[in-house]
């Protein structure tokens, strides 16, 4: 690592959060590791989760699923659908549990299984109000169940839904979704199926025990963050696992009237010391943070000034005694991804997943 800008991921924090969430769930848990484990590193997070007894993992893309299968022999669920023959065939060959919610998807999967003498496992997605993907009517559900009853290649391994607003204080709509899901489950059971049922995301795992069913999905909370400020974590002690670290590459003194960076958005009122730090928006340190973010420099909090550039950012360091080579923490113990998210009107998920591939991940307690 020649450029000393990196994300330090403490895998013991991941392990700790899994233990906390298992305690809250009281069921099996599924680790959601899509988007490179929310920016933390998929394979490393999965390895640590396996050490903690996790045997279910969820991803969002077929490429993620096939990549994870190279190092993980546990249950892997693709949360989105596969629409083309090449992708479905690759997932079937890799033994990935596939998300299905249309009769066309089911028939394609069956045709591929028949042609290759394969078995497949599916999780049926019920749309209870998210209106993204999933079965929306009883008639759609029954059509799939009728098809499944007449064949032996495809196992209905699971059924699931996703809550649209479980991370809000008002749980009324979430409870409506829960009732719709229970209605679908009754139809499925009346047809003689007994799939694994899962509905709880991080928010529902923490706050809605009646939605836990057989398995709870650990998303943002596994990485140490509450899903929102409206979710009360109670006795859960979640620990953010990722720190974003860079270093000072240049120190200079500017005079009153001097400007800093593109657009001259910062103009000094007096003589100041400025540090250039080797991180920018191409690393995922968002340009929208310009002039708003702070960072940690030892015991000091230093303020970003001027516009964040593609590869570099400038900070005000007057009175700190900072020097070239000093470490700067952009995300750490006192400045979290949630803090940065608040500054630009987004969520911790986006801050974490924005960290680009050119920022190496360095692992602690692997």
The tokens describing 330, both together, are 């952009």
For 162-306, strand residue ranges (E) read 196-200, 215-218, 242-254, 259-260, 266-267, 272-277, 294-297, 300-305
What backbone torsions phi and psi does residue 302 show, to the nearest 5 degrees? -115, 145
What is the 3-class SS of 153-182, one letter each residue? CEEEEEEECCCCCCCCCCCHHHHHHHHHHH
CA angle 135, 141, 144 (to 5 degrees): 110
Measured CA distances, 118 to 70, 114, 163, 187, 366 (Å): 19, 7, 33, 28, 36
CA angle 103, 106, 108 (to 5 degrees): 110
Among candidate residues 22, 34, 125, 171, the one labeled active-site is 34
Q: Does 262 participate in catalysis according to the annotation?
A: yes
Closest by CA to 183, choosing from 161, 165, 201, is: 161
Dihedral angle of Cα 139, 142, 148, 154, to the nearest 10 degrees: 70
Give the DSSP letter of residue 60.
Answer: S
With beta carbons less than 8 A apart as the criterion, state whether 291 and 306 touch. yes
Among candidate residues 4, 149, 250, 262, the one labeled active-site is 262
Q: Does 285 participate in catalysis according to the annotation?
A: no
Pairing assessment for the beta strands 300-305 and 294-297 based on DSSP bridges: antiparallel
For the chain, strand residue ranges (E) read 6-10, 28-32, 56-59, 75-78, 97-100, 120-125, 154-160, 196-200, 215-218, 242-254, 259-260, 266-267, 272-277, 294-297, 300-305, 313-316, 327-331, 361-364
Burial class of residue 358, CB neighbours in 10 A (0-12, 13-18, 19+):
exposed
The Cα 294–Cα 300 span in angstroms is 10
Active site residues: 34, 262
């Amino acid at each position: 690592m020649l450029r000393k800008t990196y994300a330090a991921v403490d895998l013991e924090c991941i392990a700790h959060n899994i233990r906390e969430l298992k305690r809250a769930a009281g069921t099996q848990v599924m680790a959601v590791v899509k988007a490179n484990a929310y920016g933390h590193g998929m394979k490393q997070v999965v390895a640590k989760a396996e050490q903690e007894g996790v045997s279910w993992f969820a991803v969002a893309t077929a490429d993620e699923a096939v990549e994870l299968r190279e190092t993980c022999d546990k249950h892997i669920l693709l949360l989105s659908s596969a629409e083309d023959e090449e992708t479905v065939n690759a997932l079937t060959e890799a033994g990935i549990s596939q998300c299905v919610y249309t009769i066309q998807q089911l028939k394609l999967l069956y045709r591929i299984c028949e042609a290759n003498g394969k078995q497949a496992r599916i999780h049926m997605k019920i749309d209870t109000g998210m209106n993204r993907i999933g079965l929306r009517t009883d008639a759609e559900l029954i059509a799939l169940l009728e098809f499944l009853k007449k064949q032996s290649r495809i196992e209905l391994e699971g059924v699931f839904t996703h809550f649209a607003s479980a991370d809000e204080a008002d749980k009324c709509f979430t409870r409506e979704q829960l009732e719709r899901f229970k209605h679908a489950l009754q139809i499925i059971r009346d047809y003689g199926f007994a799939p694994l049922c899962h509905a709880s995301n991080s928010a529902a795992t923490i706050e809605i025990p009646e939605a836990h069913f057989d398995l709870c999905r650990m998303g943002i909370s596994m990485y140490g963050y509450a899903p929102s400020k409206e979710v009360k974590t109670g006795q859960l002690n979640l620990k953010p696992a990722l720190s974003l670290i860079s270093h000072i590459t240049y120190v200079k003194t500017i005079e009153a009237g001097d400007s800093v960076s593109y657009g001259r958005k910062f103009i000094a009122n007096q003589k100041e010391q400025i540090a250039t730090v080797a991180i920018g928006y191409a690393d995922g340190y968002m340009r929208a943070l310009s002039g708003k973010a702070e960072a940690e420099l030892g015991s000091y909090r230093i303020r970003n000034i001027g516009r964040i550039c593609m590869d570099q950012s400038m900070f005000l360091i007057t009175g700190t005694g900072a020097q070239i080579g000093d470490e700067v923490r952009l995300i750490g113990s006192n400045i979290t991804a949630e803090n940065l998210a608040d500054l630009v009107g987004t969520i911790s998920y986006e801050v974490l997943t924005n960290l680009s591939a050119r920022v190496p991940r360095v692992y602690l307690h692997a």
